Amino acid sequence: MSKPFRIILLVFIGLALFAVIFSSGMAVGLAASNAPGIQQYLPYLSPSGEQAAAPDENLDALFQPFWESWNLVHDQYVDQPVDDTEMMRGAIRGMLASLDDPHTSYMDPEEFEQTNAPLDGEYEGIGAWVDITGEYLAIISPMPDSPAEKAGLQPDDLVIAVNGKDMTGVDGDLVLRDILGPAGTDVTLTIQRKNEPHPFDVTITRAKIVMPSAQGEMLEENVAYVQINTFGRKTTKELRDTLDELMAQDPVGLIIDLRYNGGGYLDTSVDVVSQFIESNQVVLYEELGDGSRTTYRSKNGGLATDIPLVLLVNEGSASASEIFAGAIQDYGRGTLVGTTTFGKGSVQNWVPLNNNQGAVRVTIARWLTPNERQIHNIGIEPDVVVEITEEDIEAERDPQLEKAIELLTETN
């Protein structure tokens, strides 16, 4: 049986506009066309493609309209032959979309492979974090020194067309499919920007993006600064290496920057929180649909459990970032500075389908903070609210970071 990945990644997938996205394939492995009579055997195939027990009469009747529609397309659709695999994948997408949960979705094999790339810290694309859940794909933030930043993309830019193709009403996952591509190739995005009367085109050359998930430096006033970009496979090691280096310099305080961190692996979030709180403390509760709970506790060996701490958060801090922020806030371990977080309090399993046919991402639980707060669609309000204005951006000021430094230096 394929092994699922427990992930709480925000739907705005850090689109380091890598050659990646979501959808997925069903593991029946049908060849294109050859429709007549397909309904005679397809409903009885197991996910592995082997013969399964025949469904009861009610299920047979339930699927009758599906097979009638399937045959009508093969018999009457103007452009033949149709692609059976794409039709099947479309059926799965529609099935999952009916649940009205933006975090339950379907990935074809290529999309599944490449969607995992950001959690490994290396991929090809334009280098931007995006939100795919709105009417149009929106830029959350370009990555530093990325093709997106060099091209001048800004937060809240809307992608209304890709290579001249109108994206009005197109699902965000499909918009990504058109934007992404190999390093060295160009993509032209039509951008609608706030306070700009007319859309404009931006042509960007895709590149290989290598992004550490955790990195840090010493700032003024002997304050240590660590930016965590995602909660991926390498994050715990990179964070511990960074903390080892910074803590050896005896900083007066530590800033952890979680802004625009869309999440990642649940287990990684527990490992990260464990660096800052005492062992065996509740990090989060995972609550299933039947009300049962799993408790996740901090581990031994935290490297920064006593140092004064400030977390920077904003509307792009989501899921695993919110687990981190919620635990720190509930225990009074540090001060949260910035704006209210995204509000993603659900947990997904990414379940690979057999025979390399992609994966299905399914919401399987909600999570709660140590004080049993439910933050889904609510977010976490920081202890100190600091907005970043258009004037701040134009002047290249970071008042949130400035406030964090101020709080730590005042304490000492």
Give the angle 280-329-289 at the CA atoms, nearest 5°. 70
Q: CB of 314 within 8 A of CB of 341? A: yes
DSSP state, 133?
Answer: S
Contacts of 330 (CB under 8 A, 6+ apart): 369, 370, 371, 373
Query: What Rg value do the Cα atoms of the chain yield, rounded?
Result: 23
Q: Would you say how long the chain is, in residues?
A: 412
Residue type, 258: L
CA-nearest of 244, 245, 240 to 228 is 240
Catalytic residues: 319, 330, 344
Q: Which two tokens stand for residue 355?
A: 């025979």
- Rounded distance between C-alpha atoms, residue 324 and residue 266, angstroms: 10
Q: CB of 48 within 8 A of CB of 303? A: no
CA-nearest of 154, 140, 136, 148 to 342 is 140
- Helix H or strand E encompassing 335: strand 335-338
Q: CB of 125 within 8 A of CB of 151? A: no
- What are the start-end ranges of the H helices in 98-214? 109-115, 117-120, 147-150, 172-179
3-state secondary structure 68-124: HHHHHHHHHCCCCCCCHHHHHHHHHHHHHHCCCCCCCEEECHHHHHHHCHHHHCEEE
Strand ranges, E, within 133-172:
137-142, 158-162, 165-166
Kindly write down the DSSP assignment for every residue of 219-242, as one continuous string: EGGGEEEEEE--B-TTHHHHHHHH
